Amino acid sequence: MATLLESLSGPTPALWLEVAPPRGINPEPLLKRLAVLAGHADAINLTDNSLGRVKMSGVVFGSIIRARLGIPVVVNFSCRDRNRLALKSDLLGAAALGIDAVVALTGDKLAPGDPSGARSVHDVDAFGLLGIIAALNRGDTGEGRPPLKAIPNLVPGAVANPNRGNIDREFELLERKAEAGARFVITQPVFELETARRFIARARALGLATVLGVMPVKRESMATYMRERVADLKGAAHHLERYAGMSEADVRTRSLEENLSLMKALAGEVAGFNIMSGGGPSLAIELALEFSRWRKEGGR
């Protein structure tokens, strides 16, 4: 636990890369791409069947990353897909396999008629899941039995959206997550300096380390999708509109430059950055390597 938390309170911001686990059972192609991050990334953050699309278990893929690449792993846990017993069982498995941290997500509900045929569970929400993690870290499985002899050591985290119009309501929820045991918060992608600074300051007052979401944009269609289809980014729509009519090469170049500039400007204020790889990890990896080189050179 200390290693990951120490990386969030060091003199330079931690660098995380967020990716989805492989779609099938072969981890090798994605492992090969992530291998370049050894010695650069402080953690790999794995999503949990995001957008309701089936992927390999994040706990399993995370254990492979730990064993093969030696990079710490943060796994998202969605309450949408597991009941209380399954959450506890998977959390114990995550701890046994060396997963470093867990991000508690309520998870979006699946729409009726979803092609997966799945139904949302939501036996507990993110607040309840944070309570479960805290109890397991004390050795309490909630069954009235003696404490566990080998106690998990999972760092609990939460999520938040700095782009939300009613930001006071967002911080009411975040305060509850902090009270339930969250130690850090990963944000939705932020594109503006002042939005980021306001959020970091208020999260710090709650005792939370902010891992700021950064989303490099690969092409105009990706910006359009994020603007029109991702509700959490409505507050950042004016930024995403700036990519309209640009070639893919120009979008990539501009997005890399703007995100790198944002990260450098906030390096002395934020606990870490979580670079999101929507649409594939290539551009996110490129940004991570660029920032890592700048960080290793002492921010010059």
Q: Which two tokens stand for residue 221?
A: 């269609």
Distance (Å, whole) CA 170 – CA 165? 9
Residue 112 has pLDDT above 80, yes or no: no
**So what's the pLDDT on residue 117?**
73
Distance (Å, whole) CA 146 – CA 55? 35
**So what's the pLDDT on residue 274?**
98
**So what's the pLDDT on residue 50?**
84
Centroid of chain to Cα 239: 21
The domains of the chain, with CATH numbers, are: 2-293 (3.20.20.220)
Distance (Å, whole) CA 91 – CA 290? 34
Express as a percent the part of the chain with pLDDT over 90.
Answer: 81
- Per-residue pLDDT of 23-32, as tens digits, reads 999 999 999 9
Distance (Å, whole) CA 95 – CA 239? 39
- Per-residue pLDDT of 38-77, as tens digits, reads 999 999 999 998 877 899 999 999 999 999 999 999 999 9
* DSSP string computed for 27-49: -HHHHHHHGGGTTT-SEEEEPSS
**So what's the pLDDT on residue 163?**
94
- Per-residue pLDDT of 82-108, as tens digits, reads 999 999 999 999 999 999 999 999 987
Residue 1 has pLDDT above 50, yes or no: no
